[in-house]
Amino acid sequence: MSPTFHELTVAAVEQLTPSAVALTLAVPEPLREVFAFRPGQHVTVRLDEAERRSYSICSTPADLREHGLLTIGVKRVPGGAFSTRAQELAPGEPLAVLPPLGRFTTELDPARARRYGAIVAGSGVTPVLSLAATALGTEPGSTFTVLCGNRSAAEVMFADALADLKDRFPGRLQLVHVLSREMQPSELLSGRLDADRTTALLKAFELAAVDEWFLCGPLGVVRSAREALAAVGAAGRVHVELFHAEEPPPLAAAVEGGGTVGVRILLDGRSTEFAMERGERVLDAALRHRGELPYACKGGVCSTCRAKVVSGSVEMAANWALEPDELAAGYVLTCQSTPTSDDLALDFDA
């Protein structure tokens, strides 16, 4: 079944920085299985039908299992409807939340010993906090290194939680804070996490042999991290999660095409057929006929609207969420997809 929104109650609101809060939500016993998640995943919150936002979970699966609590980090952005509202929420208030989604995660095995690494900036630390805490707690032989970029120490989200985690795993967690607008004792740690600085950090801390990397933050930081990893010959698997991406260019199909396309979608085992304009995004057209379709960011970042192309073809304007193996298997982000064939069939249940 497609995910549906459930009403959760705000249990606590913690001010992390002048512009960021941690929202802890109480998940009642009947919904704990529905909201069971893997570290690194996110949830979508809804203010109304038009305002949906995705936020990464910073707590651990154990917090949910044992205490019925799930925590997300919310950083205020200029003009942000929910990020502004989040600063004013109080315990006891209801919030409509979609169950966890996302593939910014990994399989953990207590018998395995691996080296994990993360390169994050700003609120990009949110999912990595859950990943690091869960990995270190699950795999006694593994280590985790986090390169964390911010403008100043006062703007480091979850600074106390990171410090507490370091105290719990002093020999296995390595935290490296890089500040762009605040001088530190080391010149290497003072400045932006651009490709050159990140490359130097990877070499200085001998991180080329890390098995799995998690890159999370603005597009520029993620691109610089990829460039740096390539520069040092890092061969480990790389996971990417973007919180913000530039507006993609118009699709060639949208500019040159015309007429209508026959579309068939499968959701929750029920098939729906409709016609759409060739230059439209598939998700926008499909929502007119199946309003329960899953989506969140509409920016090609969160993968909530993922579907598999059964027949026909599409062109995606942007993709910041799907892995190469998913693309090879025929999955697309419907919020970014415009048809390039006369007929199109998509499976949201795949």
Residue 198's domain is classified under what CATH number?
A: 3.40.50.80
pLDDT in tens, 122-151: 999 999 999 999 999 999 999 999 999 999
Residue span of the structural domain in which 141 resides: 115-244
Indicate whether 108 belongs to any domain: no
- How many Cα atoms are found within 13 Å in the side-chain-facing hemisphere of 136? 23
From 48, 74, 101, give the residue that closes a domain: 101
Does residue 237 sit in the same domain as residue 270? no
- For 243-271, write each residue's pLDDT tens digit: 765 555 555 544 455 689 999 999 999 99
Domain C-terminal end among 66, 101, 136:
101
Is 218 a member of any domain?
A: yes
Q: Report pTM.
A: 0.86
Q: 304: pLDDT confidence band, cut at 50, 70 and 90?
A: confident
In a domain? residue 209: yes
Residue 168 lies in a domain: yes
Please name the residues in contact with 22: beta carbons below 8 A apart, sequence gap of 6 or more: 12, 13, 14, 16, 58, 71, 72, 73, 74, 158
* Average pLDDT, integer, range 325-343: 95
Domain count, the chain: 3
Classify residue 194: in a domain, yes or no.
yes
pLDDT for the residue 281: 95
Query: For 7, phi and psi rounded to 5 degrees?
Result: -85, 120
Nearest-angstrom CA–CA distance, 60 and 254: 42
Same domain, 55 and 163: no
CATH number of 316's domain: 3.10.20.30
